[in-house]
Amino acid sequence: MTDDRLSIERSNVILYCRRWVDTANFYRDTLRMPIEFANAWLVEFRINPTSFISIADASRTSIHSVDGQGLTMTFRVADVAVVRDELLGRGAPVGSIMWRWGSLSFYVDDPEGHRLEFWGTEVDPRDLASNADTARAPAAK
């Protein structure tokens, strides 16, 4: 049997933004993603060695902003609570930690309105009973 999958070596999501400067600053300063490339209308941020997010100035492109509609980017992290606390300390508008789809997660919106989900499975839901932020966790078995 042959493997007919595409051999993709690198991925990049481009977000076309009206609030280009604020959004680029959010990814650089709040999320602290390193800049891989930048020019007068686009900044590319490195998520990891093969995944990137670019923030483009929609006023200088032929593609319009979707104003944050219809897009959720997800990031698996080692410790959801630690990441949430770090982002909260940097002034990000973070949501509460919840148990969804078998994982702990929380959401934050970037200045353009794109929803970012940070998730991980490092905690057993039976250990969540005392944490008020996880009130929607499943009942212990």
Q: Are residues 97 and 139 in the same domain?
A: yes
Cα(17)–Cα(45) distance, integer angstroms:
15
pLDDT digit string, tens, across residues 30-44: 999 999 999 999 999
Domain holding 23, by residue range, is 10-59
Residue 124: band (very low, low, confident or very high) from pLDDT cuts 50, 70, 90: low
Cα(13)–Cα(17) distance, integer angstroms:
13
The CATH number of the domain where 42 resides is what?
A: 3.10.180.10
Provide the domain count of the chain: 2
Q: Are residues 55 and 98 in the same domain?
A: no
Amino acid present at 16: Y
Q: Are residues 136 and 75 in the same domain?
A: yes
Q: Provide the mean pLDDT of the chain.
A: 88
pLDDT digit string, tens, across residues 31-88: 999 999 999 999 999 999 999 999 999 999 999 999 888 899 999 999 999 999 999 9
**Taking residues 98-122, what's their average pLDDT?**
92
Cα(103)–Cα(117) distance, integer angstroms:
11
